[in-house]
Amino acid sequence: MAKRFDFTSVYEDETWTVVFDDNEGIQDRFYEIVKDEINKSQFPGLEVSIEEYITGGIFFNKESTKMLCVKAQDSTFEQFEIYYRAQVFGNVVIFTRMECMERGFFSILAGKSGNELKAALRLKCKNMAQYEEFIAIDSLADIVFRCALQRVDPEYRERKVLNLKIA
C-alpha cells in the first residue's frame, strides 16, 4: 500500500528541469544513481527505499507517485527524511529533492510545519557530534542530488554556471 506524503513537513526543496531528446528510463536511472551515491557514502544508519507515495487530498486531487526516500535509523534524527523525485512531462523531466521533518501527532495538532519541525529537532542536539550528524546528513542530501544531476544532465555544469551568472 502506498504511503502518504505530507507537504507541510517539507522545510527545504530544490528542483532542476531538463529537456531530453530521449528520456526512456530516466526516472529509474536517477533513482539508481541516488541510491548508489548514498550507499557509496557509507554513512551509518541511512535507510534508502523506493516506494509509491500518495500526494494531494484524501478524495480529490489525489496522486500516486514513485519517490526515493532516505531516512536516518537509530539516530536522534529519525524524523528527518529526504525525498528524491523525477517527474516526466513528455521530454521534460523535473528532478526534485525535498528535505522533510516527519510530523508527530502533537505537531499536527499544533499546526507545526517543516521549518518549525526542523528548529525543534535541532534543539534535540545535546552535543556537537549530534549537531554535526544532522548537518552531515543534510549536506549529503545536497551533494547526492547534484551528483545525480551531473550524471543525468550532460549540460548540468554549463547550465549551473549560467544560472549563477544570471542570479
pLDDT in tens, 17-63: 999 999 999 999 999 999 999 999 999 999 999 999 887 766 666 67
Which grid cell is 71? 531516512
**Whole-angstrom distance, CA of residue 147 vs CA of residue 124:** 30
Domain boundaries, given as residue ranges, for the chain: 3-166
Residues of the chain scoring pLDDT < 70: 1, 57-62, 102-115, 117-121, 167
What three-state secondary structure class fits 150? Answer: helix
pLDDT at 50: 95
Strand duo 63-72 + 10-19: pairing? unpaired
Would you state the pLDDT for residue 118?
66
The predicted structure's pLDDT at residue 167 = 60
Q: Please, what's the b/e burial string for 60-72 (b: 16 or more CB within 10 A of its CB; e: otherwise)?
A: eeeeebebbbbbb
Model confidence, pTM = 0.85
